[in-house]
Amino acid sequence: MKNALNKLKIALSLVAECCYYAGCRSAARFFVIPPRRVPMPTERKHREEIVRYGRMLHERCFVAAMDGNLSVRLNKNRILVTPTCLSKGAMRPADMVIVDMDGQRVSGRRHVTSEIGMHLLIYRVRPDVQAIVHAHPPTATGFAAAGIPLTEPLVCEVVMGLGCIPLARYGTPGTSELAQTLEPYVPNYDAILMSNHGVVTYGDTLEHAYMKMETVEHFAQIALVTHLLGRQQPLKEGEIEKLLLARSKYFGAKLAASMPLPRAPQKVS
């Protein structure tokens, strides 16, 4: 009797689920038993996240044409990354490529981005990093092209959440030279300006890596205004120390984001 009831319950659940996904919501409710919730596989979730944040980069003009790339660490040996020659605003989950830690494609139809070496370097140096975003936000990239790092402590939220953004020397995209220019900064910073190129940010999730990219561009816009006004008023040493204490309270040891002590206020020419 018990087995028969269990079989009936399973059958009713399947009927209700079929009605639900066929659009017959009222019929599904008739069977009382709600449809089963099937958890989304992790890889599928990451693919959809990359599509979503790639579209956000494109909509905010942080990338143009086929620029930029995003990646997520699937496990210690596999990286899910955007392919080359594809607009970040027009990607589909199936477009992503899986590579090993040597940058060799192990799954996917499209070609691997030529800047995969940059991603692999960051994953090797920072075991805590699970996702990376590389883009060309206009204002921040303007600072990178002008050879100006974003290291002045001008905004308390940036000191708290990101520290400062150093400037790495120029490295040719698609070559090992690019990764070599970033290597000195990766252990201690969560965002780096790349001379005459763009910005790379990374974090424990793709959402956090993307948010850091937004913070870099927002801070660059604020810094640009201070340059246009001809004056900067950095936070004082004591004020920075208080912010760093607060940051350790909220973020613990999860945030690298070094913050150098400020120089004396100076007029910007």
Residues 6+ apart with CB under 8 A from 249: none
Report how far residue 229's alpha carbon sits from residue 58's, in angstroms, rounded to the nearest whole number.
30
Q: How far apart are the first and last CA of the chain?
A: 87
Q: Which of 17, 48, 49, 115 is catalytic?
A: 115
Q: Could you tell me how many residues make up the chain?
A: 269
The two tokens of residue 56 are 């956000």
Report how far residue 141's alpha carbon sits from residue 210's, in angstroms, rounded to the nearest whole number.
16
The CA distances from residue 264 to 58, 75, 148, 156, in Å, are 38, 45, 17, 17
Report how far residue 177's alpha carbon sits from residue 183's, in angstroms, rounded to the nearest whole number.
10
Catalytic-residue membership of 59: no
CB distance 189 to 167 below 8 Å: no
- CA 89: distance to chain centroid? 15
The two tokens of residue 29 are 């409710």
β-bridge mates for residue 131, sequence order: 72, 203
> Catalytic residue positions?
115
